[in-house]
């Protein structure tokens, strides 16, 4: 399981590097996004992955890898937005944004390690396309929870779904980076 932890940290460092570069270029403009808009942005990315998987070709010169990275980063943005609420303007600096990013990346790692212990790395036997379908299912669940204003009877909340989307994306990235 040590390999999984190291691979997770490696993949997250790739995602964080892109997040940091975009934070430099754009600032924390994403702070204006309501969580439902973040969910829709993740949907666009996951839907594109599925479209590429089904069609077998991408006409835009960005493949599945970049979309999984985007899902990780938008998932973390979603968790930040749930914690802080959305803002009317950019209201945090790069340092604060990266601190929050690191906090939620660590929580995702801790959750993955706990689940990985219980499931004995079953994710390694899954197909990347299954991660895509699971992410899409989590998006639809999240949209339903959002339409219920978070008032569920037995289900985990939006935050748990974002965490799962992050971790499924990391699994996809690990497989793309390190092979089956």
Mind listing the pLDDT tens digit for each residue in 114-156?
Answer: 999 999 999 999 999 999 999 999 999 999 999 999 999 999 9
The span from the CA of 158 to the CA of 133, in Å, is 18
> Under a CB-based contact definition with an 8 Å cutoff, are residues 169 and 70 in contact?
no
Whether 1 has a pLDDT exceeding 60, the answer reads: no
Tens digit of each residue's pLDDT (9 = 90 or more) over 20-53? 999 999 999 999 999 999 999 999 999 999 999 9
- Predicted confidence at residue 122, as pLDDT, reads 94
For residues 56 and 77, give the distance between their C-alpha atoms in angstroms, rounded to a whole number: 30
Task: Give 74-111 pLDDT, tens digit per residue.
Answer: 999 999 999 999 999 999 999 999 999 999 999 999 99
The pLDDT assigned to 60 comes to 83
Q: How many helices (H) and strands (E) in the chain?
A: 6, 0
């Amino acid at each position: 399981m040590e390999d999984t932890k190291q691979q997770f940290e490696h993949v997250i460092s790739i995602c964080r590097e892109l997040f940091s570069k975009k934070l430099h270029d754009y600032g924390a403009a994403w702070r204006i996004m309501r969580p439902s808009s973040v969910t829709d942005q993740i949907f666009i990315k996951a839907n594109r992955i599925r479209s590429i998987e089904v069609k077998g070709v991408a006409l835009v010169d960005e493949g599945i890898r970049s979309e999984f990275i985007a899902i990780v980063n938008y998932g973390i943005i979603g968790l930040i937005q749930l914690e802080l609420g959305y803002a009317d303007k950019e209201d945090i600096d790069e340092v604060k944004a990266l601190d929050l990013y690191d906090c939620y990346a660590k929580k995702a790692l801790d959750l993955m390690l706990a689940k990985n212990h219980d499931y004995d790395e079953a994710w390694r036997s899954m197909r990347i396309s299954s991660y895509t379908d699971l992410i899409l299912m989590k998006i639809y669940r999240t949209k339903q929870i959002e339409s219920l204003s978070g008032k569920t009877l037995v289900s985990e909340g939006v935050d748990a779904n974002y965490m799962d989307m992050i971790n499924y994306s990391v699994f996809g990235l690990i497989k793309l980076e390190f092979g089956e």
